[in-house]
Amino acid sequence: MTLTVQQMLAAAEAVVPRITAEEAKGLVGRDDVVFLDVREPNEVAASGKVPGALAIPRGLVEFRADPASPLHDAHFDRTKTIVAYCASGGRSALALKTLHDMGYPNVRNLGGFKTWVDGGGEIEKA
């Protein structure tokens, strides 16, 4: 079966709840929450990121999240809530769907970084 990007996004959105900037602001700094910026390094450098967010490009998320991978990042913990974002919400939705499929049950999509900025979220310069 061949899937289109739109079908993949629809499947991701069916599994991954969206949250507002206001909801996300209440999660920043909590020990049981990891913020994940899946934009490319040049995007993060240009605009900054959510304070404390892990900046891991979309193409490396699976490798950083898998405890069996030599690239595993210890910040990934299946007991924590993962809140991801990108530029518009598509990459973060796909990354979170993949994390969900990898056994991360608590995933939330903030959508685009602009949502965070427009919602009055603080910015950490990279």
Does 12 reside within a domain?
A: no
> Mean pLDDT of successive 10-residue segments in the chain (126 residues)?
95 97 97 98 98 98 98 97 98 98 98 97 92
Does 126 reside within a domain?
A: no
Query: With the CA atoms of 24, 97, 8 and 25 taken in that order, what torsion angle do they form, in degrees rounded to the nearest 10?
Result: 0
On whether the CB atoms of residues 39 and 125 are closer than 8 A, the answer is: no
pLDDT of residue 102: 98
Does 111 reside within a domain?
A: yes
pLDDT of residue 34: 98
Cα 37 to chain centroid distance, Å, stands at 5
The pTM of this model reads: 0.95
On whether the CB atoms of residues 51 and 125 are closer than 8 A, the answer is: no
Does 93 reside within a domain?
A: yes
Burial, 94: exposed, middle or buried (Cβ in 10 Å; 0-12, 13-18, 19+)?
A: buried
User: How many structural domains does the chain have?
Assistant: 1
pLDDT of residue 79: 97
Q: Which residues have C-beta within 8 Å of that of residue 70, sequence separation ≥ 6?
A: none
SS3 83: strand
Give the structural domain span for 60. Answer: 20-118
Separation between Cα atoms, residue 46 and residue 98, nearest integer Å: 27
CATH number (domain holding residue 30): 3.40.250.10
Does 26 reside within a domain?
A: yes
Strand-strand pairing, 107-112 and 33-37:
unpaired
Does 34 reside within a domain?
A: yes
Does 87 reside within a domain?
A: yes
